[in-house]
Structure 1
Amino acid sequence: MNKEDQNTTKPTPSPSEKARVKLKVCGMKYQDNIEQVAATQPDYLGFIFYNKSVRNFDLEYIPEVSKNIKKTGVFVDAEIDEVIKNIHLHHLHAVQLHGNESTDYCKKLKSYDIEIIKAFSVDYNFNFDDLKPYETVCNYYLFDTKGRLAGGNGYTFDWSLLKNYPSTKPYFLSGGIGIEEIENVLSFLHRQESKYCYALDVNSKFETDPGLKNIELLKEFKDHVITKEEQLK
């Protein structure tokens, strides 16, 4: 992706014309499990580089996965040199910034030909005006549930708050999405507030242990949500 693409906000099609919603599986940690999840063909795989997380990725290298899967490094207020080092070491396609990273921080990463996903923690007090400074310095927003942890709190926020979304920038929906949320997710994807929903981000609700994903649950979710939505287009 070149700089011109990163700086340009493209109009988002109506829900009936919109491409199928993408799937990101985050918090990957174990080699065999990474390969098993990759075989289900999500669009993004997330690797957390944050040593305070129980899902901190500490393998020497990310295993080889399909070129169609975007390897995403998740960072929380990391030194920018650390982010750049991991971009090169693991051949990352995207970085997800889950802390209080500044707009200047995002700008510095833009030159590395990588997607930038800026995460925001949402509750009833969230001010969507906080997005404005980031409009030209990231490719996507990610909305997660505000809680005790920087991410992975395991419960959803009130998605109806996205009725107040003021931007046209595509976003990732995150926070406590699991099998039990399938009907709510499908309902959300057919409401106006999902117009700019680019991807669903899943993590803890699909785990048997932190970082270890249940493959059958992921397949079930993908079949009932991602594949079903694609068939309806």
Structure 2
Amino acid sequence: MDHLVKICGLSTPETLEAALAARADLVGFVRFPKSPRHVSLETGRALSAQAKGRAGRVVLLVDADDAEIDSAIEALDPDMLQLHGSESPERVAFIRRRFGRPVLKALGIATAQDLAAATGYLTSADYLLLDAKPPRQSDALPGGNGLSFDWGLIDSLDRTLPFMLSGGLDPANVAEAIRLTRPDAVDVSSGVESGPGVKDPDRIGAFVKAARAAFAVPAI
């Protein structure tokens, strides 16, 4: 994976256009009704068509069954599936094989033990996404909570697979996050919002610009 910048949770043509104009590499559409960023299949279809050929399109799913995945693929025709639930390595491998799309597996990280679990996905996923583990309250979302984790934990990561850093990133801290962790890609959602699910075009542009500049600095 080249150094990529992903804007996730886009839900309107205007904010998607802002991400595309900023030249984000990947744009993400959330299919999870509990999320303020959830899009219907019809809205997702229109947004995906808008982005086609201009950025990689990612559909985010949470413990989806085969019928849900079929519906999302039929409507959005994504370039990649992001699995953001508790999918096992076996389930990830099945989805990758059954649906023929690259799979980005998200893992919630709070401790070194959480990071060690990433090794189970080295032969079943195409990419890893490391996000902050969600709060323990019952209504917590699996991602998009604006929380970060201890980036120092990544020193012990097996980098067999390319990884995307997520969780608590914003235009002000993404350069430092890249400097410390040297990820293959970065992902942002709430960090470019003015309110839950409300993307800010100026913050989108600032995030992409800051990430690009940081990736251009050679690793020491």
Interval containing the TM-score (normalised by the shorter chain): 0.7 to 0.9
> How far did residue 59 of structure 1 move?
5.5
- Indicate if the aligned counterparts of 2:81 and 2:103 stay in contact, CA closer than 8 A: yes
Q: 1:144 aligns with which of 109, 131, 146?
A: 131
Letter aligned with residue 46 of structure 2: I
Aligned residue number for residue 25 of structure 2: 43
Matched, 1:72 2:54: no
Q: 2:190 aligns with which of 199, 204, 224?
A: 204
Question: How many equivalent residue pairs?
Answer: 209
Percent identical: 27
Q: TM-score with structure 2 length normalisation?
A: 0.86
> How far did residue 68 of structure 1 move?
4.0
Letter aligned with residue 113 of structure 1: G
> How far did residue 147 of structure 1 move?
2.0
Q: 1:62 aligns with which of 17, 21, 46?
A: 46
> How far did residue 115 of structure 1 move?
1.5
Aligned residue number for residue 119 of structure 2: 132
Q: Which moved more, 1:131-140 or 1:92-101?
A: 131-140
Note closer, same or farther for the CA distance 1:223–1:127 as it changes in structure 2 (3 Å cut): closer
> How far did residue 183 of structure 1 move?
4.3
Report which structure shows greater RCO (CA 8 Å, sep ≥6). Answer: 1
2:65 and 2:22 map into 1 onto residues whose CA distance is 33
Matched, 1:122 2:112: no
Flag as ranges the 4+ runs of structure 1 deviating above 4 A.
Answer: none
Matched, 1:104 2:90: yes
Note closer, same or farther for the CA distance 1:182–1:102 as it changes in structure 2 (3 Å cut): closer
Q: Unaligned stretches of 5+ in structure 2?
A: 136-140
Q: 1:222 aligns with which of 198, 208, 217?
A: 208
Note closer, same or farther for the CA distance 1:209–1:59 as it changes in structure 2 (3 Å cut): farther
Q: TM-score with structure 1 length normalisation?
A: 0.81
> How far did residue 184 of structure 1 move?
1.7
> How far did residue 108 of structure 1 move?
2.5
- Indicate if the aligned counterparts of 1:76 and 1:99 stay in contact, CA closer than 8 A: yes
